Structure 1
Amino acid sequence: MAIFGSLRDMSFPDLVGMLGRRSGVLEVFALPGHRQAYTIALEGGRVLWVREGRRVLEPLQARSVLQELFRMSEGGFEFVPGTPPPPPDGQVLGWPLERLLLTMTTVEDEFRAYSATLPDPRTRFQAVSMDMWLEEPLWSFWEKAKPLLGQPGGASAEELARRLGLREREVVYYLHKLRLAGKVSPVRAYEEALKRRDESREGLFRRLFASLLGRGR
């Protein structure tokens, strides 16, 4: 039997809690500011795939959508129990939905805690370190954003959100975490650091050259 209702009467976290470990397809629609409905395939409480309209989302985009739904207070939903179809590309997410929502709660709390220190969305960042282990979902974001952050002039949160199909709010948060991890730096600070490094090397070469000249006399 299908279950349907409104997010005004039942929030998305409460809806997930009610569904528990059921299998089926959950559709969330009529969301403010969203033209497309979102479809979530569940199997035993695990997320198999997430679709926007007819497009199956890649993992980072799917996580972004679920986090957005977590905050939604308007819209409708319908859950049809049964065995969901596999994704067209065969890639299964396999995320335990309840655990995922707990992670999202932590991220939302951290976002509020960091809100006063988060960078402006127009600030451009440059990658300064390519090799470092990161936890999910920061690692997935880093893998997607690294080519853009590594290009001359770096990239801003606005640009990354547009190019990666993510929400600007989340990209700002991810950039803040990457900056704390020492993987990115604002472009101006990055350029100044390179200039200081080059000046330091030039000074070292001058001292070595002067030392060699002194020994030769």
Structure 2
Amino acid sequence: MVISGNLKESPFQTLIGHFQDRTGVLELWNMPGLKDCKLWVKRGHLRCIEIGKEYIADPLKARDILLGIIAAREGAFELTYKEFKTPCDPALHWPLERVVTSLSLIEEDITLRTIEMPPPNVTYLISGDEGLLDLNNSFFWKRARPMLQHGATAEQIAKALGISLKLSCYYLARLEWLGAVKPAADVIEIEF
């Protein structure tokens, strides 16, 4: 069975409901600012994202792609129910509805400006006792931490991690709010 349409009439958040207990591929194209992609879903779990002929196994890049799709208000889709052998190795195994709900909240934070996004060229450094924070499950923190030890901007981190500037700024804002990082200009070193 094939369902096709556009994201104006059927937003992405609505489409994922079709995969609750089903298996298939969701193709998306003509989304402004985004590349055409395929989402491989097995019984409600996102297994793989395909951009062109590249399979995205990196969780941070996958979240960034999904965030872009959630924000898209234009584009076309074709949903095909079919069994498949997961093309990604390793597969993502993400509960699609939960991930999309989480990312929708991030998009809402950004859109409604409930979190103040830092300028992309401000240098950030690690501050405080990071051991007090539970950041072990943060894909962004694990990958950006080495850069933040010496100071890095959202632009530098986005480029190094291959994610959007928007997502890099968002995560830095969250880390600043948690007290894990500070703008380098706020870090005062006193030498005697």
TM-score (norm. length: structure 2): 0.88
Matched with 1:120 is: 119
CA-CA distance at 1:110 after TM superposition: 3.0
Matched with 1:33 is: 33
CA-CA distance at 1:172 after TM superposition: 1.0
Alignment of 1:79-90 (within 5 A): 79-88=79-88, 90=89
How many residue pairs get aligned? The number is 188
- Preserved CA contact (<8 Å) 2:6 2:75: yes
In the alignment, the residues of structure 2 paired with residue 13 and residue 135 of structure 1 have an alpha-carbon distance, to the nearest angstrom, of 28
In the alignment, the residues of structure 2 paired with residue 48 and residue 30 of structure 1 have an alpha-carbon distance, to the nearest angstrom, of 23
Matched with 1:78 is: 78
- Preserved CA contact (<8 Å) 2:23 2:82: yes
CA-CA distance at 1:130 after TM superposition: 5.1
CA-CA distance at 1:84 after TM superposition: 2.5
- Preserved CA contact (<8 Å) 1:39 1:52: yes
CA-CA distance at 1:141 after TM superposition: 0.3
Q: What CA deviation, in whole Å up to 9, does each residue of 1:36-63 have, x standing for no partner?
A: 3111110001001112211122111101
The 1:71–1:155 alpha-carbon spacing in structure 2 relative to 1, beyond 3 Å, is: same
Q: What secondary structure is seen at the aligned counterpart in 2 of 1:150? A: helix
Relative contact order (alpha carbons < 8 A, sep ≥ 6): 1 or 2 greater?
A: 2
- Preserved CA contact (<8 Å) 1:122 1:156: yes
Confirm or deny that 1:156 pairs with 2:153.
yes
Confirm or deny that 1:19 pairs with 2:16.
no
The 1:181–1:6 alpha-carbon spacing in structure 2 relative to 1, beyond 3 Å, is: same
Matched with 1:6 is: 6
Query: What is the CA RMSD across the aligned residues, in angstroms?
Result: 1.9
In the alignment, the residues of structure 2 paired with residue 30 and residue 45 of structure 1 have an alpha-carbon distance, to the nearest angstrom, of 24
Matched with 1:211 is: none
Q: What CA deviation, in whole Å up to 9, does each residue of 1:134-157 have, x standing for no partner?
A: 275xx1101111122123xx1111
In the alignment, the residues of structure 1 paired with residue 53 and residue 90 of structure 2 have an alpha-carbon distance, to the nearest angstrom, of 16
- The structure that has the greater radius of gyration is 1
Alignment of 1:45-64 (within 5 A): 45-57=44-56, 58-64=58-64
- Preserved CA contact (<8 Å) 1:42 1:84: no
In the alignment, the residues of structure 1 paired with residue 31 and residue 109 of structure 2 have an alpha-carbon distance, to the nearest angstrom, of 25
Q: What secondary structure is seen at the aligned counterpart in 2 of 1:92? A: coil
Q: What secondary structure is seen at the aligned counterpart in 1 of 2:73? A: coil
CA-CA distance at 1:5 after TM superposition: 1.4
Confirm or deny that 1:133 pairs with 2:134.
yes
CA-CA distance at 1:127 after TM superposition: 2.1
- Preserved CA contact (<8 Å) 1:8 1:73: yes
Matched with 1:102 is: 101
The 1:4–1:135 alpha-carbon spacing in structure 2 relative to 1, beyond 3 Å, is: farther
Alignment of 1:192-207 (within 5 A): 192=188, 195-196=189-190, 198=191, 202=192
In the alignment, the residues of structure 2 paired with residue 123 and residue 84 of structure 1 have an alpha-carbon distance, to the nearest angstrom, of 45
Confirm or deny that 1:179 pairs with 2:180.
no
Gaps of 5+ in 2: none
The letter of the residue matching 2:54 is R
In the alignment, the residues of structure 1 paired with residue 121 and residue 49 of structure 2 have an alpha-carbon distance, to the nearest angstrom, of 29
The letter of the residue matching 1:66 is L
In the alignment, the residues of structure 1 paired with residue 70 and residue 15 of structure 2 have an alpha-carbon distance, to the nearest angstrom, of 10
CA-CA distance at 1:28 after TM superposition: 0.8
